[in-house]
A and B are shown apart, each in its own frame.
Chain A
Amino acid sequence: MLSAFLTILTLLAVCAVVAHFHPQGSHRAAAREGWRQLQPLLTRLPIALLAAAFLAVLIPADAIGSLFGEASGWPGVLAASLLGGFLPGGPVVAFPLVVVLFDAGAGIAQLIALITAWSVLAFHRVAAFELPMLGARTTAARLLVSLPLPVFAGTAAGVIAL
């Protein structure tokens, strides 16, 4: 996690330097935008982490392991894709739950299928944004072509991770 922090810090430094010499760049505007995004998280993130920590105790690790574990193969990838599509919320609430599954022994391929399904299918986001903005036909067509993607990503990850 230290390497993750250092990576982000490096990118932040690069952005700050670019913004400093860019005519449109502004440290003040960037800080304001960052703060605007941080505000809602001050309540959401602790609550989501708490919920996930308690759920981690309650969810039987054996069941997760046999359903989504490394050995579950492509049926596990399929099940994870299904779960991912229905996983609610943005990353702030969904990812703590994914970490719970990770700690309980879910496989890499299955988790990648789950996160891909959550990001590309996201039925809650479809109902809230896509349907009203793009209309039913465009939305339905996009969903239809996106259905196989999580299974593809999970299977590919399984092949590479082996």
Chain B
Amino acid sequence: MPLRHVDPMTVFFLVLALGAGTAVYILHGPAAWWNALSRAAELMLQVAPILVAALLMSGYVQTLIPRHAIERWLGARSGMRGLTLATVAGAFTPGGPFAAFPLVVALLRSGAAFEVCVAYLTAWSVLGLNRALVWEIPFFGLDFVALKMLVSLPLPFLAALLARPLGRRMRRPAC
């Protein structure tokens, strides 16, 4: 296994797995230990095919929706139209924090309203289609994810509404 992918979080979970595995073996015996192991293998087999297909799809999306396209969508527009655009853009922004935060920095510098940035970040985190398809559906199934998406739809607007008075007090972006 490539060592360069072993980050602190992986080490933490490795220690957790070893510790919990030992505890299961001592407290519940070898039968329970094997049971847990086969449960992990089962989940792996369930998730892996969806994950591989979803990552390939995510690869396509990232080549088709470049960052500057999202920047152009957003611009410095505000109001309901700006918020809706920010929410849609957030939901479509693929990739992890490496992709989203530099974009927000660029938006704030170019004069986008704080509430629009908040709507964008909220949409990216709770409505992110990429994450929903790659991660949430394999683990939780379609029904659960559909319900979660439905109740998450108003969240970017709610956050922006709460952010409006704060944005006025901040006067200009802090960064």
Contacts and interface: CB of A to CB of B under 8 A. Distances in A.
B59 A135 contact: no
Interface residues of B, number: 90
- Chain B binding site: helix, strand, loop or mixed by DSSP? helix
A4 B53 CA distance: 11
A33 B62 contact: yes
Given A3-B142, A57-B36, 6 more contacts: A24-B63, A43-B6, A50-B17, A51-B20, A133-B101, A146-B159
Contacts of B125: 119-120, 122
A96 B147 CA distance: 19
Interface string B1-36: 110011001101110110011011001100010011
Contact of A58 (B23, B117, B142, B170): B23
Interface residues of A, number: 89
A136 B175 CA distance: 9
Interface of A: 1, 3-5, 7-9, 11-12, 15-16, 18-19, 22, 24-26, 29-35, 37-58, 88-93, 95-96, 98-99, 102, 108, 111-112, 115-116, 119-120, 122, 125, 128-130, 133-138, 141-142, 144-146, 148-149, 152-154, 156-157, 160-161
